Each structure stands twice: as C-alpha cells, then as structure tokens.
Amino acid sequence: MEHKVTLCSNNKTFMVQENETILEAAIRAGISINYGCSSGTCGLCQARLISGTVEEIKPREFVISEAEKLQGHMLTCVCAVKDDVVIDVLVANTVADIPLQKINVKVRKVDQLVEQVFRLIVQTPRTSRLRFLAGQYVEIGLDGVGESRFSIASCPCEDRLIELHLRVSSDDPVSMRVADKMRMGDNLVLSGPFGEFIYDENANRPVILFAFDTGFAAIKSLLEHITAQEQELHIHLIWMSCGRDGLYMHNLCRSWTDAFDNFSYTGIALDESIKQLADNPQLGCATVEAHIMQAMQSHTDLSCHDVYVSAPAPATKLFENVCRKKNVLMRRFFTEPVRGNEDMSCMVSVKSAN
C-alpha cells in the first residue's frame, strides 16, 4: 500500500511504498531532499514530521534526543510512513545546495554503443552516493592518465547508478583508457557534481531540448528527470549528429514517443561527415541551420517555452538564431557545452563561416 508524502517547504508530493524509506521514495521521484550516508549515521537527512505517522524500518547510529523526537525529528533514510504525512526537510533547489563530492565507484558496465561512442555505467557505494541535479557533469580521474569531464546521462532518480557517454578520441586519453581497458568491477574515482545546466522545476512551461552528438547525455538526464516528476509538459527533443551513428540511442528516443504523453522527437542525422562540413564551413553552417529550421517548423511562437541546449558553441549559436526568430525569451534559453568531446571540428569550422 502506498502513502503520500508532502513537503511543506514547496508542497511537492511523492508516494512511498510499503517497506520503502522516505529517502528512497524521494530519490525515485526525482526530488532532491538533503542526505549523506543513506544509512542512519550522518544525520544529514534529518527532517521534522508535521503530521501523520512514520516508523523506523532500518537501524540508525545517529542519535535523536527525546526532546527532538517529541518535536517530530526523524531520519528520512531509515523511516517508512504508515499513513499520509507532511514533513519539513531541506530540499536542494540550486547547485549551491549540493556539496562537491569525491567518490570511489565501481564499474558496472562498459558497452560500445556505436563505433566511437561508449556508455560507462558506474555504481556508487551504498553509504556514499553521488548527489547531483539532472544536467550536471562529473570528472573522472585516472592515475597516470589524467582527468576528463563528462555530463551525467542518467537521472538522479537512478539512485546509485551513474551513466556517462564517452566519444572516444585520441585527444582524450581518459576516454581511450575506459574504452580499451575498463571492465566490470574496476574502480574509478568520480568528482563532482559540476555545472549549472539544471532544470527549472518551478517554471512549469513547455520545453524544447536540443542535443548535438554526445550533448545528448546532459539532455537525456534532464528529460528523465522531468518525466520522473510526472509533470504534464509538452516536450520536443531534437537530436542532431553527423551521420546516423551519432544518434546512438535513436531507438530509445523513439520509444519515449510511445511511453510519454505530449512528447515528440526529431532525430537529424546529417548526411555530411565531420570532414565534409569542416572542409566547407559555409555549407556546414547552411546545412545545420536548414535542418534546425525544418525541425522547428511546427513551432510558430515559443515565447512560453523553456529551451535547453547541449551542443558545441557554434551549433548552439545557430539554434539560438532560430529560437530568437520564434520569440524564445533569452532568459529562458539554457546552454551547456558538450563535455568530454573536443572532437567537434565540423562545428568549429561552422563558426568560422559566420
């Protein structure tokens, strides 16, 4: 049987299942309440029960005094709910609310999605999870190899599993090492989260998402976060790449059109290769802009929309030009570069054509 939790700070609600802690349910619902160890030790998840009944279903070491108990203090990581409850708890709304962390993680999966793009899935320890907001990025450090930064492709609702998309390039030794040598069970150090490319949860406005190549990672994280919150928003995802291989999760995007109401997807695989575009910047610029125009033709006025873009700067600029023509408010236009993927020579050349 499920019960409802209401957060008195923002009136957000989520459901808690039987034998599930409040913290587990909040993470699953994409709500970033404050926590640390997840195991009753640090006290960071302490909340105050305003109404309803909770029950401790896991042991805790953190001490709550009798006086605090009488005031309703409890730990969300050890408590389940017995009926609908209202609680007062700290919620992370901005990147400043999330501490910088350094966590040893285990590789759970390395798979090659297409010729040069790998998906790396790592798992954090049960007692040291990575807190982040959808759209942020992390740094991987490898001894003797270096560091590289990658956008998180998964939603915070995935809890301990962190997904990254790596375009393997000789300019990025970390991506080469991960693709060549990393296997299930290997250890890695993740630092983060970084970045301010996060979803404005209070906006409640229809959304346009634009990704170029592995810029899809940050956009996927945002999209999965938005859908976890079950907000009934219109969302249009546009994903562009050089060649069909660049749309390395095209089928997943298509499946979302069946899974989610009010969701549409446009995948654009440019016929031109990176080299062809780089050799002819004027062609590159015109080609990219023409495809964006076509993808956006059903939108006449976007003054009520929020736009999130993860693309190389030149492609972002071309997308911005089209958005301006369609009345997007520039304060509602949010951008993020493609992390860990410097091999964007086509887009660099497009820039020089402007």
- Residues forming contacts to ligand FES in the complex (CB under 6 A) are 35-38, 40-45, 62, 75, 77
d(CA 269, CA 287): 11
Residue with Cβ nearer ligand FES (133 or 235): 133
Task: For the CB of residue 132, give the shortest distance to ligand FES in the complex, in Å.
Answer: 16
User: Of 52, 51, 32, 143, which Cα lies nearest the Cα of 96?
Assistant: 32
User: Of 191, 164, 196, 192, which Cα lies nearest the Cα of 178?
Assistant: 164
Q: How far apart are the first and last CA of the chain?
A: 60
Task: For the CB of residue 21, give the shortest distance to ligand FES in the complex, in Å.
Answer: 9
Tell me the sheet residues that pair with 146. Answer: 142
Quick count: other Cβ atoms within 10 Å of Cβ 53?
13
Residue with Cβ nearer ligand FES (129 or 236): 129
Strands 306-310 and 207-212: parallel
Residue type, 219: I
Quick count: other Cβ atoms within 10 Å of Cβ 54?
24
Task: For the CB of residue 27, give the shortest distance to ligand FES in the complex, in Å.
Answer: 11
Residue with Cβ nearer ligand FES (22 or 344): 22
Residue with Cβ nearer ligand FES (35 or 216): 35
Residue with Cβ nearer ligand FES (60 or 82): 60
Residue with Cβ nearer ligand FES (41 or 335): 41
Task: For the CB of residue 38, give the shortest distance to ligand FES in the complex, in Å.
Answer: 5
Task: For the CB of residue 45, give the shortest distance to ligand FES in the complex, in Å.
Answer: 3
Task: For the CB of residue 205, give the shortest distance to ligand FES in the complex, in Å.
Answer: 33
- CA distance to 111, 217, 218, 223, per residue, from 233 (Å): 32, 21, 19, 11
